[in-house]
Amino acid sequence: MPPQLLLLLLLLCYHGFLIAAAGEHSSPVRLELVRHPAPSGASRLEHVQELFRSDRLRQRMIHDRIQRGRHRRRACDVSPPSKNRSSVPAPADSFKMPLKSGAYSGTGQYFVRFLLGTPAQRFQLVMDTGSDLTWVKCRLRPPGCRSDGNGTRDFRSDVSSSFKPIPCSSDMCKTSLPFSLTTCPTPASPCAYDYGYSDGSTAQGVFANEKATIILSNGRRAKLRGLVVGCTSTSAGSSFWAADGVLGLGYSDISFAGRATARFQGRFSYCLVDHLSPRNASSFLTFGPNAAALPSPPPRETALVLDLEPFYTVGVDGISVDGELLAIPRIVWDVGAGGGAILDSGTSLTVLAEPAYRAVASALSRRLEGIPRVSVDPFDYCYNWTAAGGQRKLPRMVVHLAGSAALEPPAKSYVIDVADGVKCLGIAVAPWPGVSTIGNILQQEHRWEFDLKNRRLRFRRSRCRRE
């Protein structure tokens, strides 16, 4: 066994000890989005309650990371990469990467299918626009050993010829990698991390440079190299039970989005199917222009604010219900005053800062008066929809983004089914001051394009068919 590989094996085996002893450093490509079978009845209620719990924990970490990052401002480089960062040939600018999509996941997350290493190994990763680290569950073990038995796979870094651990003595480890540790037994030892997620989940492992295999629109395969990935030896949390890791799409030089958009015209997009879609529903994550989703009608457009790295922030002018613009203090949407709003694919429900939540919940509940209320923990407003006779018209909520870009989600995205015959307001409250989060349920059945090069966000309604 090569000395470098032996060193990595030893580090992974004793990683828990190292973490305890260490201190923290303060044309298009498509990937498949997959969700698993939708729960029903009592199991659906348990599922939604778990979404609420996870989203609440996630908001804590979003708040903490924003607070840490307010004093650190730097631009993400989306210029074309140098030759040593990508082996995609120049004509690939006009190529697409077709991928498949799957069905609804009981975890409330969306998943991508991903090919990593040389030769390529296949994984299912959580798609997370709020994370800058891409990582896979990683074990160095003798051939023939099985994984943990939960259906997930482990990355075999020992059989990947392109896996190159990042030294802990490198400037990248010391200054650029999120949640890197001061542990450095020798200058050549791999850079270790202890990564915390907003829902309370954690991942510990070592950083490396690696290659991903991408399938272009002409069916050819190519290597996207120079990627920063995490080889995770230990992970904990409900976010990862059905996944092999995380695809980091946050705004950052080291994220997969940062590296891939540098090669594919500075943009990526996705279309999320209904979160209760059947198993065979499909949607796509695309890097580069998406010729399959030509806008008709044209998309709506607003500024993409990139000041709260790695999160994607948008300006909000207000929220209206049935045409009534609600009295929400403008400071709630002011990033400089501790507010603002982000789009986050890793949060399920839409979470509003307390002043906005009170105004929106009050306006929606007033229009639902007459429908019997029921108590469903932890939601504030739930209704016996069977008693409504199916004839009740749902109120129309609009989020007015900066630049007259109105997000008009279907009512099922904010008055959600939680059990048979029961609907609840699918919004949650966040402490003020603090950011508001447009979650993936409110984003569903829209195509979202993140144009990082021009700092624009474009969106339009879509059923996400073949997009």
Residues noted as catalytic: 128, 344
* Residue 369, helix vs strand vs coil: coil
Complete DSSP assignment for 77-118:
--SPPPGGG----GGGGG-----------TTS--EEEEEETT
Tokens of 209: 């440079």
82 DSSP assignment: P
Tokens of 360: 């929106």
* Residue 306, helix vs strand vs coil: coil
Complete DSSP assignment for 375-401:
--TT-S-EEETTTTTT-PPPPPEEEEE
User: Which string of b and e fits 175-200 if b means at least 16 CB within 10 Å?
Assistant: ebbbbbbebbeeeebbbbbbbbbbbb
CB-CB contact of 422 with 374 (8 Å): yes
The C-alpha angle 353, 199, 326, rounded to 5 degrees, equals 15
| H helix runs in 70-116, sequence order | none
Output the CA torsion 167→200→308→114 (10° steps).
60
- Measure the CA–CA gap between 443 and 274, rounded to whole angstroms: 9
Tokens of 413: 């995205």
CB-CB contact of 359 with 328 (8 Å): yes
| H helix runs in 264-316, sequence order | none
Tokens of 408: 């008009």
243 DSSP assignment: -
Tokens of 418: 């939680």
User: Which string of b and e fits 338-374 if b means at least 16 CB within 10 Å?
Assistant: bbbbbbbbbbbbbbbbebbbbbbbebbbebbeebeeb
* Residue 78, helix vs strand vs coil: coil
CB-CB contact of 236 with 407 (8 Å): no
- Measure the CA–CA gap between 36 and 188, rounded to whole angstroms: 42
